[in-house]
A and B are shown apart, each in its own frame.
Chain A
Amino acid sequence: DAEITQSPRHKITETGRQVTLACHQTWNHNNMFWYRQDLGHGLRLIHYSYGVQDTNKGEVSDGYSVSRSNTEDLPLTLESAASSQTSVYFCASSEDSGSRRNEQFFGPGTRLTVL
């Protein structure tokens, strides 16, 4: 069955380190998204991509970067981790923009702690 996976599921790192969170989907979706969710709040969009070599900034993109070298993967990099980036990170994918249903399929999340 097609799925979307994230790794690692849990990560503890130190302030100033570079961290990369992986996201892999087998839906063959062109659209992929990264969100963060802080305790007790809704999801906020970090970056998104509509296809290979395409990346776009979301609402809270400062301190994060993404790259899209193939359809299946959209890794999220924290260039220099800060304590304010402690959060749960969700990756999602969806069909092309022309799809009226716009169902986004979400991964299980990565819980990141920056000490």
Chain B
Amino acid sequence: DAKTTQPTSMDCAEGRAANLPCNHSTISGNEYVYWYRQIHSQGPQYIIHGLKNNETNEMASLIITEDRKSSTLILPHATLRDTAVYYCIVRPYNAGNMLTFGGGTRLMVKP
């Protein structure tokens, strides 16, 4: 069974905020939410992660609902270079660094 559910694709206008949703309704108390992205033909790149508090770094913000059953990755000012596949991954704290990738969301940023 998939641990996360994401829309297959999304569009966003350049300069606008991109909001990428992820459902993880079966998440356990010790599981973190991670986001990676994969720009065409490249290896995936870490973006951000969180447990229950909202997080922000130089790349993005992560908003996790209070019940932790869903989250949203926010790219505040999307650029054409943000066009990529975005993966939402749920990972137990003691999982030995394992990552299980689903299908992800293909974000297309348009001029």
Set A42, A44, A45, A109: member contacting B104, Cβ < 8 A? A42
A104 and B87 form a contact (CB under 8 A): no
In the assembled complex, how far is the CB of residue B95 from the closest CB belonging to chain A, in whole angstroms? 8
Size range of the interface on A?
A: 20 to 34
Closest to B103 in A: A42
Instruction: Tally A-B pairs: CB < 8 A.
Output: 57
A109 and B46 form a contact (CB under 8 A): no
| A45-B98, A45-B100 known; A106 vs B44 contact (CB < 8 Å) | yes
B100 and A108 form a contact (CB under 8 A): no
Contacts of B99 in A (CB 8 A): 33, 45, 102, 104
B side interface size, CB within 8 A: 23
Set A94, A99, A102, A107: member contacting B43, Cβ < 8 A? A107
In the assembled complex, how far is the CB of residue A51 from the closest CB belonging to chain B, in whole angstroms? 12
| A31-B97, A100-B93 known; A42 vs B102 contact (CB < 8 Å) | yes
Whole-angstrom CA separation of A88 from B42 in the bound complex: 10
Q: Which residues of B contact A (CB under 8 A)?
A: 32, 34, 36, 41-46, 49, 87, 91, 93-94, 96-104
